[in-house]
């Protein structure tokens, strides 16, 4: 099946899978490329250009705020998170879940995945969960695991993790666990709700992706159940507890140093 220009088949899978596409992408929002941070200079000695303050092309001329910081603050306020890195981890996992759901959903339903290049993906950092995403152009790519890894892992989750680690004390293993947990959850939803052929493809692709060098060792997959080897810190949210795939069976006791951030 070819990708349709509005990716309408995703809408029946729920909010985490929906991607607003093509002509629906006209809202003036920052791109995910802008959220991931300043570009390197093109030539040695040239000044850095920062897409967080460069204006978007077109009618919008006011400087952009920092969309990633906006998102972390938005999540932190909604959760009443006790420290910014808790909000940053939850924000990371939320965006990872959206990207995996879109890519895996398209790969299993259509047999192809849209090119989700960060410069073509617009994002509302002030929106509610799940993250609101727009794709400015639907350009099909193969729906195999290698392409999904290139599109999501290398195209988004690596630069997103680097941007968050530059701002917050987040361990690499925690971010790998978030990425793997989000992938496993997306696949589980497809296995649970989609027709058998789609569920089978989702299970196969998720197994292949969890064996990728950037995700291997992040947890154990048994059937559709995933148990991660790290914690996303959600237990630190007031009334949060531990997630269903957490490495902990009960919330650990925080040390005074950890509580102070």
- Per-residue confidence (pLDDT) for residue 17, from 0 to 100: 95
- Specify the pairing of strand 121-124 against strand 112-114: unpaired
| DSSP assignment letter at 156 | I
261 CA to centre of own chain: 24
pLDDT tens track for 88-112: 999 999 999 999 999 999 999 999 9
- Per-residue confidence (pLDDT) for residue 187, from 0 to 100: 97
pLDDT tens track for 171-188: 999 999 999 999 999 999
Contacts of residue 151, Cβ cutoff 8 Å, sequence gap at least 6: 103, 113, 115, 116, 141
- Per-residue confidence (pLDDT) for residue 37, from 0 to 100: 83
Helices (H), the chain: 32-35, 67-79, 84-109, 145-148, 158-167, 172-193, 196-210, 256-260
- Per-residue confidence (pLDDT) for residue 3, from 0 to 100: 87
- Per-residue confidence (pLDDT) for residue 142, from 0 to 100: 96
As a whole number of angstroms, the distance between CA 58 and CA 69 comes to: 24
Region at 243 (left for phi over 0; alpha for psi -120 to 50; beta for the rest): beta
- Per-residue confidence (pLDDT) for residue 65, from 0 to 100: 74
Weakly modelled stretches of the chain, pLDDT under 50: 39-63, 255-261
């Amino acid at each position: 099946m070819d990708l349709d220009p509005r990716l309408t088949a995703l809408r029946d899978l729920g909010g985490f899978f929906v991607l607003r596409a093509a002509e629906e992408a006209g809202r003036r929002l920052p791109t995910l490329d802008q959220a991931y941070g300043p570009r390197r200079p093109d030539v040695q000695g040239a000044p850095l250009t920062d897409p967080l303050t460069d204006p978007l092309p077109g009618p919008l001329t006011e400087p952009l705020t920092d969309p990633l910081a906006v998102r972390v603050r938005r999540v932190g306020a909604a959760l009443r998170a006790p420290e910014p890195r808790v909000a940053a981890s939850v924000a990371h996992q939320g965006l990872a879940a959206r990207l995996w759901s879109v890519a895996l959903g398209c790969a299993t339903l259509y047999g192809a995945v849209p090119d989700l290049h960060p410069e073509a993906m617009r994002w509302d950092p002030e929106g509610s969960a799940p993250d609101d995403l727009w794709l400015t152009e639907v350009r099909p790519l193969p729906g195999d695991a290698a392409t999904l890894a290139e599109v999501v892992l290398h195209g988004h989750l690596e630069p997103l993790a680097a941007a968050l680690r530059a701002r917050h004390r987040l361990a690499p293993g925690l971010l790998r666990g978030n990425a793997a947990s989000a992938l496993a959850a997306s696949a589980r939803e497809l296995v649970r709700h989609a027709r058998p052929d789609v569920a089978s493809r989702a299970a196969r692709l998720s197994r292949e992706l969890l064996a990728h060098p950037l995700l291997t060792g992040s947890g154990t997959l048994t059937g559709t159940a995933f148990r991660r080897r790290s914690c996303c810190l959600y237990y630190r949210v007031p009334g949060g507890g531990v997630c269903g795939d957490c490495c902990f069976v009960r919330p650990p006791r925080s040390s005074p140093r950890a509580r102070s951030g």
